[in-house]
């Protein structure tokens, strides 16, 4: 398949992310509540603080961060059956929520957090590609906001965050590498990658999948370089919003 034009349907440059909009305190009860919009993808990320830890961590002097993910049935083009009605969460759902929790823990100092759990709930209101990466980027802010609440209550001295954290999707369509794919791009991509990185540019998760043809090492290198461009934009926005980490 030869890509005869690199023009994206929304006119973006290949290394350009979609317009991002962050609404903090989106709902009133959660300790951290963020609506993240990346183009037409919209995800609510709520952080809840619970003053206890899962049984496997009891009396170890450490906290925990975990995530759950869901999509509204009509967040997608066609209606999907409601997982609560089907009686189980699908494999994709479980895979994503494991990824989100793991990524957030990579930048959390769980010892400094103390014996408490932060639950992150990512609920997709509208899906137009990149819901898992938007969930990570938005959840980081919700997590930071929840930690601010703990600090304000003097339950912790400073926010136990080791670095900023953001994520972006990257794809190869024909011979062109693009970041932050919308659904119409994602569905025709030969290679699909999700990249999670810290503010210092370290890697937290690299997940690349050949959807069509297997890919080359130089593709991977290109994906990482271009992904880092998008992640820097997201990190900059996080810094502006939540300030220095501690």
Per the listing, tokens 């990570």 go with 136
Nearer to a copy of itself, 4 or 82 (CB): 82
Give burial (CB, 10 Å; 0-12/13-18/19+) of 213: exposed
Residue 221 dihedral angles phi and psi, to the nearest 5°: -60, -45
Q: Identify the CA nearest to 135 among candidates 244, 24, 234, 44.
A: 44
Smallest distance, a copy of itself to C-beta of residue 26, A: 8
Smallest distance, a copy of itself to C-beta of residue 109, A: 12
Smallest distance, a copy of itself to C-beta of residue 129, A: 13
User: Which SS3 state, helix, strand or coil, does residue 165 take?
Assistant: strand
Smallest distance, a copy of itself to C-beta of residue 40, A: 6
Nearer to a copy of itself, 5 or 122 (CB): 122
Q: Which residues bind a copy of itself (CB under 8 A)?
A: 27-30, 33, 40, 42, 44, 46, 48, 50, 68, 70, 72-77, 79, 82-85, 87-95, 97-98, 102, 106-107, 119, 121, 123, 125-126, 163, 193, 197-198, 200, 202-210, 213-217, 219-220, 224
Nearer to a copy of itself, 15 or 48 (CB): 48
Q: Identify the CA nearest to 223 among candidates 167, 160, 178.
A: 178
Token couple for 95: 């895979």
Nearer to a copy of itself, 154 or 218 (CB): 218
Residue 78 dihedral angles phi and psi, to the nearest 5°: -105, 150
Residues with Cβ < 8 Å from 9, sequence gap 6 or more? 182, 184, 185
Smallest distance, a copy of itself to C-beta of residue 121, A: 5
Smallest distance, a copy of itself to C-beta of residue 154, A: 22
| Helix ranges restricted to H, 5-117 | 83-86, 91-106, 110-113
Nearer to a copy of itself, 50 or 115 (CB): 50
129: how many CB neighbours lie within 10 A of its CB?
A: 22
User: Which SS3 state, helix, strand or coil, does residue 228 take?
Assistant: helix
Nearer to a copy of itself, 77 or 153 (CB): 77
């Amino acid at each position: 398949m030869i890509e005869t034009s690199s023009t994206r349907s929304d006119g973006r440059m290949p290394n350009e992310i979609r317009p991002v909009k962050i609404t903090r305190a989106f709902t009133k009860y959660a300790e951290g509540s963020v609506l993240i919009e990346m183009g037409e993808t919209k995800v609510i990320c709520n952080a809840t603080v619970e003053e206890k830890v899962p049984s496997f961590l009891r009396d170890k002097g450490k906290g925990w961060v975990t995530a759950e993910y869901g999509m509204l049935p009509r967040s997608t083009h066609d209606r999907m059956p409601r997982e609560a009605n089907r009686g189980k969460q699908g494999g994709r759902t479980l895979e994503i929520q494991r990824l989100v929790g793991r990524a957030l823990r990579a930048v959390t100092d769980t010892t400094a957090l103390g014996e408490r759990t932060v639950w992150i709930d990512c609920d997709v209101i509208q899906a137009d590609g990149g819901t898992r990466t938007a969930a990570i980027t938005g959840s980081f802010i919700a997590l930071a906001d929840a930690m601010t609440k703990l600090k304000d209550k003097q339950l912790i001295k400073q926010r136990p965050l080791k670095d900023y954290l953001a994520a972006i999707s990257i794809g190869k369509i024909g011979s062109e590498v693009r970041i932050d794919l919308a659904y119409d791009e994602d569905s025709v991509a030969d290679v699909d990658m999700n990249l999670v990185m810290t503010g210092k540019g370290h890697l937290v998760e690299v997940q690349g999948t050949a959807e069509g043809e297997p890919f080359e090492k130089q593709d991977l290198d290109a994906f990482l370089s271009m992904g880092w461009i998008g992640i820097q934009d997201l990190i900059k926005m996080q810094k502006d919003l939540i300030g220095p980490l501690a």
